Structure 1
């Protein structure tokens, strides 16, 4: 991506910031004048592109980072923030560097900003966006209207996006819509929707200014970089974030509701309308089942190559792709010194059966043979005892012979604590790498997690539509209902419809919402959405979402699991205060209008 990490000194915020006051201070002097920075499209775009580097990369924040703060997985390392989160020690987001909130260690000479620093980078991004919005239209004297639109469209998107990112984790924030000088003591609103509606206005401006595709021959700003415009902000990305912002604003937590179905109907309709518009853009299509892996990794390329890509962190940094898989790959097969295991309760509660029902509701579920007749996505993304681990069966010899097939039973070669880096739960995830990614087959891979992909859009659409328009309702002029959206996703895996939503899950919008949430847990499993979903649905205090369990079992002579016992590995600490991260204490003492989050 041309000039993606080009640095321009004017107003550039460098280094790790320590408080809101720092982020909002006047910029340091520069040798460049503001007129020189914004004189034409190339120099303006160089300034804008620093904001792409400020998007937090949830997958590459740190090679050993386990950013799974829900009940979906359990790690072995106690010094990383996922363990702090499980213990309710949310203050550690500031002191524990191995998280994506405050910082990490994955900077390099080619990347001017630490991609794991969501808090400081987002505030810096808001300031940069405001500088662009305040100056571009008047100062871009050597630019045509399309070029000015491109600069302003990206800036409006980023101003909205960075506010949304901060609010996802810290709650309502004031909307900063100007370049602050000495007027930064802005009162923090009590209502999420107050700022969310201002975010929505900026996304609308971005939607009006940006193209559907930067490679469109009629879009002048993208012509000179044709073919390398994948990560540039588009109309589709702005529609996706518009809908997501509205859906979040409509959600129970943001509405202050104690009811997990307490959505705002009108905001849900607006969100569904935005998602519907995006789904109708021809360039976006659900990825086919046969090449679904293209959404998650590529053995040969650095960048996502799928019809589902909507919005993500720009670029990749070679070797981090391998480490991403290491943190999920069975340590014994790839030299990793730790492993993050999918929890049994998450897999049992959400990855259902081939008849489309959950394990507990399906008549074909056999607790004595739990891995048969499962939803095809279970086999696509989860490794169980006895599964083949190595493609090249001639590669492992001698003492390595034991690694040909998974041994997750008690005493097995790949069972923690038999192996300090073996599975703790009886499962291993494989969503982020091909089977051949191990020290025997030696297949390289680059993996990524996108901020938004089309399956997520379908799922958010279904959630918004069912609470805004009802089970069979839909926006005017759109032919996809919430039920149609869920079935379209399931029919990708099983085209004959046998996996589709059962009538027993369609008796009311609330019952169907439970099934939509289960579908979301399956399709977006381990993609860094779960913790946010649990919080915005206002279910975090429920014991169902606090337990992290595994299974212990033996094998019989036929290799089947016997004597299965579910064990609690960890019980998350989660009280009302844990719905939001605490704000930096120094920031809350700057002025009376900026209070700490409740309970902290």
Structure 2
């Protein structure tokens, strides 16, 4: 019975109980009866609020973060999951690590931390179904708008948490009711079977939710007016609907061995939904000069920027320190851990200011590799010789070596001479200002966007090129896939000189490669890469297994010489690694819930 309770505990939060019938008279989250929970809007919203906390922020805990599970960066700690991922030991996702001690915590009853994807998402599905089953009939002391708000959030979360689980573990049954004795539901073999049910729930959410909770005509947002940034909206529902459809159309989910093996009809549906998001006036691309506001602020407040669509709510604690000190600037920060962007990722995807990839551009000079690069290269990457602090006068004595980056062999910020120095010859600065260091003492408040408008443009281009072609577009919409990519490039280079070159427009497949390069650059280190290389069905290709760095010396002019690329790690990735293994106990409960292939 212990194994049985574990799965039921995930599917319907039964946990320890005398009987399922008695348990369902109350929610495990509260001592209130169902009637009391849904007595009015305030009570019901309090119940719904808990689902916001179930959205896993991949950027915070080491064991949940997958910002460098792809080939985009390399970590140094062997006890966290990025190392396990590189080694192909995906069973380690079930280990409950304590990052302070650096040891596995075997005392936990459920796999991983209680807030991680697998248990948290099943719990969220359970709560969503409780709301959907009871809110409309029991909320007698509520307006129609208040009922819409409660149900709209519940339909969104039910769809979202199913999508989250399927991103990692593959096709799952769609749980659309509060489970009692009918929990033995077979796993579907096709991703699209559940994805189309997810799609219907996102449609319901989009129908019920407002464009903006701060709208004066949306009464449910009145009590929290001005503090509704993280509330679910129509735009969030449409964006996730489109993302779910694009994933369903992608090669991995289509069981295709062709990286261009998309489902055309699903791509069209995804493009149509993305177009509706882009048309919402609330969403605008943040201008280049203020692009940093998408990722962080220095005044201790969230920046309710115009690109924000959906993300992790609430204060994220030491997130800024993790990315700023430990993840990025360990070389001059306060941490011994540093995870470095890989050279092959930067070379392959951060191109030149003429819009061409490094290997295609006449501007690229291997003897002067950091000149004439795409503006996003300089905005998000630190290279040898870059200034590291704003107040140079504050860095004196022996610390003067920390004024400028020394990433050459023997330099002050280079491993192994510097234990926490860069392994690859680069660090990334996307998540912090230059002044965020122990000398300038700049404060930092950072957050993660699950979906932002730039991401929508990129996913729209991917769906549109496979559904409508390079120049085609949904009826009534004025942007093609090509237009969408050029909009993003023109933000960084407004004179149009970086727009997509004709050499990348010879076929939809060739242009898809350029869209993917654009996505790798724009969404760099935002926790999308591992998912992308899996759903594109390219993970087994050596290009995506290698993690490389560069070694070099400096000449008298401060230019790199004797540059050599070295392979630091070759990731283990076989066919079975496209999906994580399911907990063994759960796959032994009944015949219709099999383990993923190869595990």
Question: Equivalences for 1:14-25 in 2 at 5 Å?
Answer: 19-23=6-10, 24=12, 25=14
Deviation at 1:327, TM superposition (A): 2.5
Measure, in 2, the Cα distance between the counterparts of 1:535 and 1:71.
12
The answer to whether the Cα contact below 8 Å between 1:463 and 1:516 also exists between their aligned partners in 2 is yes
Partner of 1:3: none
Query: Number of matched residues?
Result: 574
Please list the CA deviations of residues 193-245 of structure 1 after superposition, one character each: whole Å capped at 9, or x if unmatched. 00000000000000100000001111110112110100000000000000000
SS in 1 for 2:39: coil
219-228 or 250-259: bigger deviation? 219-228
Work out whether 1:191 is the aligned partner of 2:190: yes
Measure, in 2, the Cα distance between the counterparts of 1:79 and 1:266.
43
SS in 2 for 1:386: coil
324-333 or 584-593: bigger deviation? 324-333
Measure, in 1, the Cα distance between the counterparts of 2:496 and 2:216.
40
Measure, in 2, the Cα distance between the counterparts of 1:115 and 1:589.
22
Partner of 2:146: 147
SS in 1 for 2:351: coil
Partner of 1:585: 584
The answer to whether the Cα contact below 8 Å between 1:61 and 1:104 also exists between their aligned partners in 2 is no
The answer to whether the Cα contact below 8 Å between 1:552 and 1:566 also exists between their aligned partners in 2 is yes
52-61 or 590-599: bigger deviation? 52-61
SS in 1 for 2:328: coil
Measure, in 1, the Cα distance between the counterparts of 2:549 and 2:8.
45
Measure, in 1, the Cα distance between the counterparts of 2:63 and 2:173.
34
Work out whether 1:324 is the aligned partner of 2:323: yes
Partner of 1:207: 206
Work out whether 1:594 is the aligned partner of 2:561: no
Structure 1 pair 216–180 and aligned structure 2 pair: CA distance change class (3 A)? same
Q: What is the RMSD of the two structures over their aligned residues, measured on CA atoms?
A: 1.8
The answer to whether the Cα contact below 8 Å between 1:239 and 1:275 also exists between their aligned partners in 2 is yes
Measure, in 2, the Cα distance between the counterparts of 1:221 and 1:599.
49
Please list the CA deviations of residues 91-143 of structure 1 after superposition, one character each: whole Å capped at 9, or x if unmatched. 000015379xxx999xxxxxxx9685111000000000000000000000000
SS in 2 for 1:133: helix
Partner of 2:275: 276
195-204 or 298-307: bigger deviation? 298-307
Partner of 1:433: 432
The answer to whether the Cα contact below 8 Å between 1:57 and 1:116 also exists between their aligned partners in 2 is no
Structure 1 pair 408–167 and aligned structure 2 pair: CA distance change class (3 A)? same
Measure, in 2, the Cα distance between the counterparts of 1:407 and 1:63.
31
Q: Which runs of 5+ in 1 are unaligned?
A: 1-16, 106-112
Please list the CA deviations of residues 304-348 of structure 1 after superposition, one character each: whole Å capped at 9, or x if unmatched. 431100000111134433233222222231111110100000000
Question: Equivalences for 1:147-186 in 2 at 5 Å?
Answer: 147-186=146-185
Measure, in 2, the Cα distance between the counterparts of 1:178 and 1:305.
35
Question: Equivalences for 1:320-469 in 2 at 5 Å?
Answer: 320-469=319-468
SS in 1 for 2:432: coil
Deviation at 1:66, TM superposition (A): 6.1
Structure 1 pair 98–75 and aligned structure 2 pair: CA distance change class (3 A)? farther
Partner of 2:575: 576
The answer to whether the Cα contact below 8 Å between 2:326 and 2:334 also exists between their aligned partners in 1 is no
Please list the CA deviations of residues 14-47 of structure 1 after superposition, one character each: whole Å capped at 9, or x if unmatched. xxx9942322334475642111110100000000
Partner of 2:72: 72
Please list the CA deviations of residues 344-387 of structure 1 after superposition, one character each: whole Å capped at 9, or x if unmatched. 00000000000000000111100111000000000000000000
Partner of 1:495: 494
Structure 1 pair 349–283 and aligned structure 2 pair: CA distance change class (3 A)? same
Measure, in 1, the Cα distance between the counterparts of 2:361 and 2:82.
33
Measure, in 2, the Cα distance between the counterparts of 1:230 and 1:315.
10
Measure, in 1, the Cα distance between the counterparts of 2:228 and 2:455.
22
Q: Which runs of 5+ in 2 are unaligned?
A: 15-19, 106-111
Measure, in 2, the Cα distance between the counterparts of 1:117 and 1:104.
15
Deviation at 1:438, TM superposition (A): 0.5
Structure 1 pair 115–562 and aligned structure 2 pair: CA distance change class (3 A)? farther
Partner of 1:311: 310
TM-score under structure 1 length normalisation: 0.93
Partner of 1:507: 506
TM-score under structure 2 length normalisation: 0.94
SS in 2 for 1:489: helix
Please list the CA deviations of residues 569-595 of structure 1 after superposition, one character each: whole Å capped at 9, or x if unmatched. 000000000000000000000000000
Measure, in 1, the Cα distance between the counterparts of 2:96 and 2:549.
27
Measure, in 2, the Cα distance between the counterparts of 1:187 and 1:388.
57
Deviation at 1:449, TM superposition (A): 1.8
The answer to whether the Cα contact below 8 Å between 1:327 and 1:340 also exists between their aligned partners in 2 is yes
The answer to whether the Cα contact below 8 Å between 1:302 and 1:316 also exists between their aligned partners in 2 is no
